[in-house]
Every structure is written in C-alpha cells, then in structure tokens.
C-alpha cells in the first residue's frame, strides 16, 4: 500500500539511526558472521569474540548483532502464524535470494535487505493484506475479542493486539497512535470496504513492511559487561532458534507475566521448560529436520544421477527417497528414541521403501511407503553408511573416496583442512584392473599435488567406505580384488585405527572431535551466527557431557539455549 509507505520509510531510517548501520540494512551492529567464508572449520585463535572464557574459567558472552533479519523460511513461518493461516503462503519463493553466510541460512546479522528484496517484501505485504481484506473468516481471527463499538477505540484495540504479535513486543504509545491513524483512514485509502475490513488491511500491509517485523531488534538492558535481553526479546530469540517462527501464545504469556526476566536461575528454568515444550511440538521437530537438512546438505540428494547400466539398482528420483530416509532416521533417533550424537552415527537401522530395500538387500514386502528395518550391523551403522551419503559422494558409475573423506572431516570432525591447490585437478587414472583405492593413492600420494594432506587425513577417512559402491550397495570385491577399507588417522586424541568401515564409523562416533563438531554446529544454528573463540568454553563443556554421558540431542540443544551466551550479549 504505497499510500502509507512514508510511515515505514521513516521506520527504516529510524532503525538505521538507532543502530548506526550504513549501506545495506543487514549490516547492523557487531556480527561474528560477517567474515564467514561458509566453511565448517573451528574458530581461529584471536578471532572475533575475545578469549574462550574469562579469568575465573566461566563462559564469556559475545557482542552480537542487535538487528537480525528474518530468513526467508522464518518470514514464511512468521506470516503463517501471525495471520493464523493454515499453511505458509509460499511467497518467498519469488524473493531475491540471500548470499550464503555460513552453513545455515539463519545468520540474521549477515542477511541484508537489498532494494530488490524490499520491493519483494512490499508486494508480499500488499498481497497478504488483500487476502485478509477479502476473507471475513480470516479477518475475524485477527480481531481481538469484544472489539469496542467506538471506531477510535476499535482501531486502537486492533493495533495493540495485532501489533504486539507482529512486532513480538507491546507497541509504544507513539506507534499505537500512528497505526491507529492508518486504520482510521483505511476506507479513504482503498476506496472500498467497510471501516473494519479496510482498517485491518491498512495496518496489516504497513506492519508487514516494518523493520520491527522484518528484523528481531534487541535493545536489552545495559549492564557493566553484559546486556540482558528483555522478556519479549528472549521469547523471540528462543522461538526463532527452536521453531523458526514468532513466539506462540504460551511464550507471549511467559514474557507478559515476567517469567523470562529477573533472577538467572528462574529465567534459566523457564527457558528450559519452554525449550522442552517447543522441541516436542511440530515447530521444534521441523527445526530439527531443518538443521540436519542443511548440515548434511540433503538438497544435494535430489540431484543424484547414476549410469543405470553400470550402477544396477539406480532409478530416476531415488535421491528423493534417500533424502526422506535420512530425515526419517534422524527423527527416529532424536524424537522417538531420545538418542544423541553416538546413536546418529551407530544405529543399525534405517527406513526404506521398495527401491531402497533393494540397495540394502533387506528381505520383506515393500511398497512406496517407508518402513523401519534392521540392517546387518557388520555392514551398516548410522548416517555415514546410508545410501544417500554414499551415493551423493560418488561419480556416475564409481565411488568418490576423496569427497567422502572431505565430507567426514568438514561436517563430522570439523577438521581444519587446507584449501585445495589452485587450477584444474586431473582425473583419476583408468581402472585397468586396479581398485579405486590404488588409483586414488597413485593420484594423491607422496610427490603429487595431494601430499600429506591426502595420504594422512583425507584419504584414510574416504577409504573407510570402499565397501560401498556408487549408490551405497555393500560389496566385498572390486574388479576381482578384495577390498581394503582399513586405515589409521590422527585428528587429536585418541588416534584412530580400523580394519573396515563400520569399525571406523564407531570410532568416529565416540571421538571427542565429533561431539565438539556437532555441538559447534548446533550452536551456530541456534545462535544464528558463526561460532567464535568466546564460545569454546560452552562448546567444550557441552561436548564433553555429550560424549561421557551420551547426552540426548534434545538435552544438548536445551543446554545451549540456557547458557549465558544465549541469554545475554556483550555490552557494546
């Protein structure tokens, strides 16, 4: 509604002035994500955020952005819940895309509002407001109960009720006055509809373009070294971390009743209770799916393509089955079995339909629906022996040991791998009766471009999966030769030595680096920023418990959202 854009332009200018940003709106405040190269390596010594812990050995908090822009996924979910729609509207599929700023798409401090995206937001706001205007039943769900009969009172009542949910906090008196004026002028602006319908349309359209809707703006309470989030800011931070959407009615109630501010112990207990509730709900379960979809790069499974002649068992579209298999497995381990890091990498079961059952060689009657099946524990253990991981890290007819090894180091162990050498990488030599391991060794051994990095780090992890072909089928021979999947590797204490793939995976599952890596990834997702040195105290403490106590993944998540580094930020 361009008639009222002046109000929102004023709001954007005010946002820029308050937070001292320049250029694109997304560059707001201090943000540990700003220099992210999108890799998965641990933070470097001396990086943003200061020392890992303070003088007395406790965790430190980090100076983070004061304005985190909603990701497109968060925008969709928030609009759905704000307008009480049955489904997300899907309008963000036409939005200007965001540049990658790390492993996950929710690094709000690094997300910008470009000129093109602002137009996208404007058009989406107009479309959604028109939808509300034309649907009396939908509009009725947005109006507060017992709406006053007086037009002026009705305008203020709606603005206060809807605005609190749209901005995730109570409106200031000045904001109530401004938006109530829009409401009262609705009929005049649109030239049609009754006063209530037109007023609702005007306010909805304007608020959906406000920086207070598009950003999670945190002012907080200044302290000597820490800034405590106020109740509504903490409710939003928690809800977007665990459900990728605005606070629900229960969280709003907790904020309004003061349960999310005050003494540390009381706040921590309330946050833990709210976190447990969110994780058990649909939003929390979807967030777990979203986390693992991005961590494991499951979107790449959709493009899996093999030579059906050289890779029997491949059929078009099977990558979608593999993606569903992995997500079903993750949900079973975390939501149903209460498992943690170890179970994700060792559980000897999965979910298959008819096509995947052929890959795993399981007996039974299968159709299009997925069923949980037990696998041969000598051949399969968790995520890294599933068909999707093995197939996406393979060529059209042959396996790809190098990329299998790189994935393990980048996404499972968080090894600080050096960048590959510049220039085109020559292809592997022809098979000629040799095994894949022999060819890769010749290609990357001593005196080649790979050198020690490949022979001591990347190749051993990749060779552990030599028993799995280009689509993930188990095999014991290659070109008439017995397969050698043995190896040894040192990625910090303890060193690892194995004779076959499942043994390797089990060593990985109980290695401290694996638990640190998973903890660091969850911290990045939940905090919406890249980990920095100051986070290492929390990472180490949480990962140590995960390894020694076999912490359930939901407990690991709740531990991270009840730490000072989530509840506070460093004073600017």
The per-residue pLDDT for range 431-484, each reduced to its tens digit, is 677 899 999 988 786 555 455 677 788 999 999 999 999 999 999 999 889 999
**Which of 521, 518, 524 lies closest to 545 in space, CA to CA?**
518
Give percent of the chain above pLDDT 70: 85
What's the distance, Cα to Cα, between the start and end of the chain in Å? Answer: 37
Beta bridge partners of residue 59, listed in sequence order: 53
Cα-to-chain-centroid distance, residue 333: 18
In this structure, the dihedral spanned by the alpha carbons of residues 488, 489, 493 and 494, taken in order and rounded to 10 degrees, is -20
Task: Give the pLDDT of residue 29.
Answer: 34
Which pLDDT tens digit goes with each residue over 512-539? 999 999 999 999 999 999 999 999 999 9
pLDDT at site 228: 86
CA atoms of 208 and 122, how far apart (whole Å): 8
Long-range contact list for 361-370, CB < 8 A, 24+ apart?
A: 361/473, 361/474, 370/324, 370/325, 370/328
What per-residue confidence (pLDDT) applies to 14?
A: 38
User: Band of the pLDDT at 50, cuts 50, 70, 90?
Assistant: very low
Identify the pLDDT of residue 4: 45
Distance of alpha carbon 52 from alpha carbon 537, whole angstroms:
6
Which of 319, 320, 341, 339 has the alpha carbon at shortest distance from 331?
A: 339
Rounded to 5 degrees, φ, ψ at 221 are: -115, 125
Mean of the per-residue pLDDT values of the chain: 88
CB 102 within 8 A of CB 524: yes
> Residue 193 has what pLDDT?
77
Burial class for 257, CB neighbours closer than 10 Å (0-12, 13-18, 19+): exposed
Cis peptide before 494 (omega within 30 of 0): yes
Which residue, chain included where needed, has tokens 């992995």? 326
Q: Which residue has the higher pLDDT, 31 or 134?
A: 134
The H or E element containing residue 222 is: none
pLDDT for 26 equals 34
Name residues whose C-beta falls within 8 Å of residue 90's C-beta, 6 or more positions apart in sequence: 76
pLDDT at 225: 77
3-state DSSP call for residue 398?
coil
- Going by pLDDT thresholds of 50, 70 and 90, the confidence category of residue 3 is very low
Query: Cβ of 301: how many Cβ atoms within 10 Å?
Result: 23
DSSP 303-332: G----TTTSTT--TTHHHHHHHHHHHHHHI
Smallest CA-to-CA distance from 41 within 99, 101, 103, 98 is with 103
Average the pLDDT over each of 136-145, 262-271, 384-393, 496-505 and give the range with the smallest value. Answer: 262-271
On whether the CB atoms of residues 326 and 298 are closer than 8 A, the answer is yes
Which has more pLDDT, 378 or 64? 378
341 pLDDT higher than 50: yes
Report the C-alpha gap between 522 and 263 in whole angstroms: 26
Query: How far apart are alpha carbons 470 and 458 in whole angstroms?
Result: 19
For residue range 72-119, list pLDDT tens digits in order: 999 999 999 999 999 999 999 999 999 877 899 999 999 999 999 999
Kindly give the residue spans of alpha helices, DSSP state H, lying in 464-552. 501-509, 512-527, 536-549
Segment 198-239, tens digit of pLDDT: 999 999 999 999 999 999 999 866 666 788 899 999 999 999
pLDDT at 160 over 90: yes
Q: What average pLDDT does the segment 9-23 reach? A: 37
Percent of the chain whose predicted confidence (pLDDT) is above 90:
74
Q: Which of 492, 490, 488, 325 is nearest to 392 (CA)?
A: 325
Q: Are 239 and 561 in contact (CB under 8 A)?
A: no
CA atoms within 13 A on the CB side of 279: 23
Q: Who has greater pLDDT, 50 or 153?
A: 153
Beta bridge partners of 371: 352
């Amino acid at each position: 509604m361009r008639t009222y854009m002046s109000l929102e332009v004023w709001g954007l200018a005010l946002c820029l002035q308050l937070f001292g940003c320049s250029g694109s709106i997304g560059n707001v405040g201090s943000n540990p994500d700003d220099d992210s190269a999108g890799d998965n390596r641990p933070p470097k010594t001396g990086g943003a955020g200061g020392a890992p812990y303070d003088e007395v050995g406790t965790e430190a908090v980090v100076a983070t952005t004061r304005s985190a822009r909603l990701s497109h996924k968060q925008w969709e979910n928030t609009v759905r819940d704000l307008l009480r729609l049955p489904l997300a509207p899907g309008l963000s599929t036409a939005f200007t895309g965001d540049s990658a700023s790390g492993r996950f798409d929710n690094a709000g401090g690094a997300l910008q509002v470009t000129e093109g995206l602002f137009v996208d937001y404007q058009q989406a706001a107009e479309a959604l407001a028109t939808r509300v205007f034309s649907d009396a039943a939908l509009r009725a769900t947005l109006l507060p109960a017992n709406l006053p009969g007086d037009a002026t009172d009705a305008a203020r009542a709606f603005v206060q009720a809807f605005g609190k949910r749209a901005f995730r906090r109570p409106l200031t008196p000045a904001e109530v006055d401004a938006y109530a004026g829009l409401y009262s002028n609705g009929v005049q602006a649109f030239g049609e509809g009754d006063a209530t319908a037109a007023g609702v349309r005007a306010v909805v359209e304007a608020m959906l373009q406000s920086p207070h809707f598009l950003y999670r703006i945190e002012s907080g309470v200044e302290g000597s070294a820490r800034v405590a989030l106020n109740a509504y800011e903490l409710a939003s931070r928690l809800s977007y971390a665990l459900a990728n959407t605005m606070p629900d009615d229960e969280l709003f109630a907790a904020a309004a009743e003061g349960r999310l501010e005050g003494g540390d112990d009381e706040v921590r207990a309330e946050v833990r209770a709210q976190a447990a509730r969110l994780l058990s709900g649909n939003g929390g379960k979807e967030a777990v799916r979203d986390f693992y979809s991005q961590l494991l790069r499951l979107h790449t499974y959709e493009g899996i393509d093999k030579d059906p002649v050289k890779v029997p068992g491949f059929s078009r579209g099977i990558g979608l089955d593999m993606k569903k298999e992995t997500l079903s497995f993750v949900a079973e381990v975390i939501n149903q079995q209460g498992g943690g890091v170890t179970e994700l990498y060792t559980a000897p079961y999965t979910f298959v339909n008819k096509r995947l059952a052929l890959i795993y060689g399981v007996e039974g009657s299968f159709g299009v629906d997925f069923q949980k099946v037990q696998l041969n524990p000598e051949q399969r253990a968790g995520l890294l022996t599933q068909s999707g991981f093995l197939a996406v890290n393979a060529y059209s007819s042959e396996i790809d040991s190098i990329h299998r090894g790189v994935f393990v180091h980048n996404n499972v162990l968080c090894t600080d791998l050096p960048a590959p050498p510049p220039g085109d990488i020559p292809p592997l030599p022809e098979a000629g009766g040799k095994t894949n391991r022999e060819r890769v060794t010749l290609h990357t051994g001593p005196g080649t471009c790979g050198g020690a990095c490949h022979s001591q780090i990347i190749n051993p992890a990749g060779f552990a999966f030599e028993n799995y072909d280009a689509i993930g089928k188990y095999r014991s021979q290659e070109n008439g030769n017995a397969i050698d999947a043995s190896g040894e590797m040192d990625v910090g204490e303890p060193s690892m030595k194995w004779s076959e793939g499942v043994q390797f995976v089990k060593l990985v599952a109980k290695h401290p680096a694996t638990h640190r890596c998973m903890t660091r990834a969850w911290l990045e997702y939940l905090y919406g920023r890249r980990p920095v040195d100051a986070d290492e105290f929390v990472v180490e403490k949480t990962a140590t418990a995960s390894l020694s106590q076999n912490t359930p993944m939901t407990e690991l998540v709740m531990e991270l959202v009840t730490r000072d580094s989530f509840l506070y930020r460093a004073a600017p």
